[in-house]
Chains A and B, each alone.
Chain A
Amino acid sequence: MEALFAVLVGFFFAAAIYLMLSRHTVRILLGVALLGNGVNLLLFTTGRLVREVPPIIVAGQETLGTGAANPLPQALILTAIVISFSFFAFLLVLTYRAYQELGTDNSDRMRLSEPSDEPLPPMGY
């Protein structure tokens, strides 16, 4: 089961990187959203995928037995979901505002802050 999920996480990452290599900001954003979900899935998988076994450390043991899923990565995911969701919301608004202000969603044409024809500084006076 974990191996299957590992492959799935790989697909998520591949799709996310492919989308983020695009010039268009909307696709980059979709890539970021996919990447965040891929990471959540990865964290989920690191804690073992087992159902119906309570995560209780047996008396005398120091670590959780292999029969139960570790609950801590699931807590990490909750934090990560909240953070990545709020960031995604912010980025959506930012992208929309950028489209309004700059009139393009093509990142190659976003050269307002880095003009391509800026001259070199004077060599002397």
Chain B
Amino acid sequence: MAASASPAVDLSAALVLTPPPLGDWLVVLPVVLMIGTGALLMMVRKSVRLHGAIAIAALVMLVVLDAALLWRVSLHGPVTMVMGRWLPPYGIAFTADLFGAAMALAAAIAALAAGLFSLADIDAAGRRYGFYPFLMLLMAGVSGAFLTGDIFNLYVWFEVLLISSFGLLILGSEPRQIEGALKYALLNLIATTLFLIAVGILYAIFGTLNMADIATKARLAPPDAPLTTLTALFVLAFAMKAAAFPVNFWLPASYHTPRIVVSALFGGLLTKVGIYALIRVTIMLLPVEREALSFVIAVSAALTMLLGALGALAQMDTRRLIGYVVIAGIGNMMAGVAVGTPAAVGGAVLYALHSVITMTALYLMAGEAARIGGSWSLASLGGLYRRSPGFAAISFLLMLAAAGLPPLSGLWPKVALLKAALDIGAWWLAAAILVSAFLLTLALARVFLLAYWRPQPTPAVEQPCPTDWRITLPLAGLAVVTLVFGVFPEPVLRLSQAAADSLADPQAYINSVFPGGRVP
């Protein structure tokens, strides 16, 4: 008998033999929940009336799971789970650290708000086209990207969220949607292809795809390895995903074409996934090479901020205006990557968390303004303050947050980034942050002036516009989140700083993947 003849194989060298503690399942549960719910919604695709309730229940669950995961990570450090019980680096690892878990939680909150808003905004036709299944799969991709510990797996999650975003983008099949989707799809596909090229070269250099393993090996790499070229490819690919200058032009061409809920999800989540990957790769995996490219990243960051702010000033359509506000925010986060000190990365992480919440809320606000005022154009909007004072107050708070004015959450990341830029003597980067914030304040103040304070230009009949809890609740909820973290910033400041410190010194992350040290 062959089995009895061969000596007992020691499986512990290849497999995880002890079952993981129950709490570790939190790393994969967000993705499992979203894919499972997506599949369930496909199965009941004929009963569209059930879709909304199922999706909202799943999104509430997602927020709870991500909050529990963040709680666990902040208490016990990074959590790792490997697929198929194979020991890393052979098994594909899911690793949640503070940065990933916090981003996943912010994304889940934004998605829940957008999901609530969609109950009022997405009609039966949109539901039949599959809005909710696509939303679930989009969130599976976003959560997977934030929680994975394997760089090829990150590429796969990018593709998952990209293909679901195509579905969401063309919901309704209007000509302008198809046109926007074409531009979006082509440029994002090229960006992920660049990412794939970089992953291939990275595997050729290091022989591993596990992020903890790469972080270890990159610090011991031979000096002739083409790591700076590799990092430049990664930066280009992620800058394209994040819509940084000069590869940002797909964003204002497409983000205003779909339903406003879809715009809100994209503006809040998708560009931030690009920034997340940029921070993960340049700060944690390849810090030495980031140093070499920091000037290029800084120039791109400054130009992105200024272009975003100037673009916002020139727009007539509120949705396109907010698209440029998103771009200006990307510039601020890139500035944190360019400076690269733990304080600066902390600022960038905080900005990313703030931006997920605020940009989603801004798009939803534009949607509600269009519902009340009947237009997307600043030329014909007007009188919103008179017609709905409560909504005007929420909008005012959100605009303050987006412009980075106290007492909202936009102030603190900008302060952190400014201080970090001045600390290393990059005064021109600090000046760009200030000028961009000033121009954004002008652009958003003009929206408030024209759409809210100005009397309605065309004297329309004052029909009462009933408030809808499905719209008011998410808007007010997001405004409260940004207000609370603006007034009591201590917990998030500490969280983002701890996240940045653990990115700069990923020993805890590596220990979580390789508990007994790196076993070859």
Name B130-154 residues within 8 Å CB distance of A.
Answer: 152
What 1/0 mask marks residues of chain A from 21 to 59 whose CB sits below 8 Å from any chain B CB? 000010010001001100100110011000000000000
The smallest beta-carbon distance between A35 and chain B, in angstroms, is: 6
A86 to B166, CA, bound (A): 12
- Measured in the bound complex, the distance between the Cα atoms of B446 and A112 in whole Å is 26
Contact of A42 among B181, B197, B254 (CB under 8 A): B197
Pick the contact of A114 from B209, B252, B449 — CB < 8 Å? B252
Q: In the bound complex, do residue B178 and residue A94 qualify as a contact, i.e. CB atoms below 8 Å apart? A: yes
- Scoring B residues 394 to 431 as 1 if CB is less than 8 Å from chain A, else 0, what string do you get? 00000000000000000000000000000000000000
**How far apart are the CA atoms of A48 and B217 in the complex, in Å?**
21
**A46-B204, A76-B200 known; A91 vs B178 contact (CB < 8 Å):** no
The answer to whether B203 and A114 have CB atoms under 8 Å apart is no
Contacts of A28 in B (CB 8 A): 186
Interface 1/0 per residue, A89-125 and B, CB below 8 Å: 0110011011001100001001011100011111011
Residues of the B chain whose Cβ atoms lie less than 8 Å from the Cβ of A76: 152, 199-200, 203
Which of B178, B254, B457 meets A102, CB within 8 Å? B178
For the complex, give the distance between the alpha carbons of A47 and B200 in Å. 9
A20 close to B (CB within 8 Å): yes
B83 within 8 A of A: no
Q: Which of B5-13, B188-196, B288-296, B347-355 contacts A (4 or more CB under 8 A)?
A: B188-196
The verdict on B473 contacting chain A, using a C-beta distance below 8 Å, is no
Q: B174's closest neighbor in chain A, by CB?
A: A101
Pairwise interchain contact A32-B190, C-beta atoms closer than 8 A: yes
B193→A95 contact, CB < 8 A: no
Is residue B201 within 8 Å, beta carbon to beta carbon, of the partner chain? yes
Query: From A35, which residue of chain B is reached at the shortest CB distance?
Result: B193
Chain B residues near A62 (CB-CB < 8 A): 520
A83 within 8 A of B: yes
Q: Is the CB of B170 within 8 A of A87?
A: no
CB-CB < 8 A to B257: which residues of A? Answer: 113
B378 touches A46 (CB 8 A): no
CB-defined contacts of A91 to chain B, threshold 8 Å:
185-186, 189
A72 at the interface (CB under 8 A from B): yes
Which of B170, B200, B520 counts the most chain A CB atoms within 10 A? Answer: B200
A119 near B253 (CB under 8 angstroms)?
A: no
Q: Which A residues are in CB contact (< 8 Å) with B182?
A: 25, 94-95, 98, 110
Q: Is residue A66 within 8 Å, beta carbon to beta carbon, of the partner chain?
A: no
Q: Which of A63, A86, A113, A119 contacts B207 (CB 8 A)?
A: A63
| A90 to B176 Cα, complex, angstroms | 17
Alpha-carbon separation in the docked complex, A35 to B152 (Å): 18
Q: Is the interface of B mostly helix, strand, loop or mixed?
A: helix
Beta-carbon contact of A114 and B253 below 8 Å: yes
Residue of B203, B209, B449 with highest tally of chain A CB at under 10 A: B203
| B454: nearest chain-A partner, CB-CB | A125
Q: B68: CB under 8 A from chain A?
A: no
B180 interface hit (Cβ, 8 Å): yes
User: Is A72's CB under 8 angstroms from B178's CB?
Assistant: no
Measured in the bound complex, the distance between the Cα atoms of B209 and A76 in whole Å is 11
| B316–A43 CB distance below 8 A | no
Query: Judging by beta carbons under 8 Å apart, are A32 and B176 in contact?
Result: no
Query: Is B501 among interface residues, defined by CB-CB distance under 8 A?
Result: no
Question: With A79-B156, A112-B176 as given contacts, are A20 and B190 in contact (CB-CB < 8 Å)?
Answer: yes
Q: In angstroms, how far is the closest chain B Cβ from the Cβ of A70?
A: 8
Quick check: A39 and B200 within 8 Å, CB to CB?
Answer: yes
B316 cross-chain contacts in A, Cβ below 8 A: 118-121
Q: Is the CB of B314 within 8 A of A120?
A: yes
Report if A14 contacts B (CB, 8 A).
no
Across-interface contacts of A98 in B (CB, < 8 A):
178-179, 182
Let me know if A46 and B200 touch, CB within 8 A.
Answer: yes
| A33 CB → nearest B CB, Å | 11
Across the interface, which residues of A come within 8 angstroms of B450, CB to CB?
121-122, 125
B256 within 8 A of A: yes
Q: Which listed residue, B180, B197, B314, B520, touches A39 by the CB 8 Å rule?
A: B197
How many whole Å from B422's CB to the nearest CB in chain A?
34
Which residues A58-87 have CB closer than 8 A to chain B? Answer: 62-63, 70, 72-73, 76, 79-80, 83-84, 86-87
Q: Is the CB of A112 within 8 A of B175?
A: yes
Tell me if A110 and B189 are in contact (CB < 8 A): no
B200 contacts A43, C-beta separation under 8 Å: yes
- Quote the shortest CB–CB distance from A5 to chain B (angstroms): 13
Taking a contact as CB atoms closer than 8 A, the residue among A36, A72, A112, A121 that contacts B193 in the complex is: A36
Question: How far, in Å, is B318 (CB) from chain A's closest CB?
Answer: 10
In the complex, 23 of the A-B residue pairs with CB atoms within 8 angstroms, ordered by the A residue number, are A35-B193, A39-B197, A42-B197, A46-B200, A46-B201, A63-B207, A76-B152, A80-B196, A91-B185, A91-B189, A94-B166, A94-B182, A97-B178, A98-B179, A112-B175, A113-B176, A113-B256, A114-B252, A114-B253, A118-B317, A119-B316, A121-B450, A122-B378
Q: Please give 13 more A-B residue pairs, beta carbons under 8 A apart, in addition to A39-B196, A79-B156, A87-B159.
A: A35-B190, A35-B193, A76-B152, A90-B185, A94-B182, A98-B178, A110-B179, A112-B175, A113-B176, A113-B257, A121-B378, A125-B450, A125-B457
Instruction: State the A residues within 8 Å of B (CB).
Output: 20, 25, 28, 32, 35-36, 39, 42-43, 46-47, 62-63, 70, 72-73, 76, 79-80, 83-84, 86-87, 90-91, 94-95, 97-98, 101-102, 107, 110, 112-114, 118-122, 124-125
Q: Which B residues are closer than 8 A to A by beta carbons? A: 152, 156, 159, 162-163, 166, 170, 173, 175-183, 185-186, 189-190, 193, 196-197, 199-201, 203-204, 207, 209, 252-254, 256-257, 314-317, 378-379, 446, 449-450, 454, 457, 520
CB-CB nearest 4 A-B residue pairs = A46-B204, A101-B175, A113-B176, A43-B200
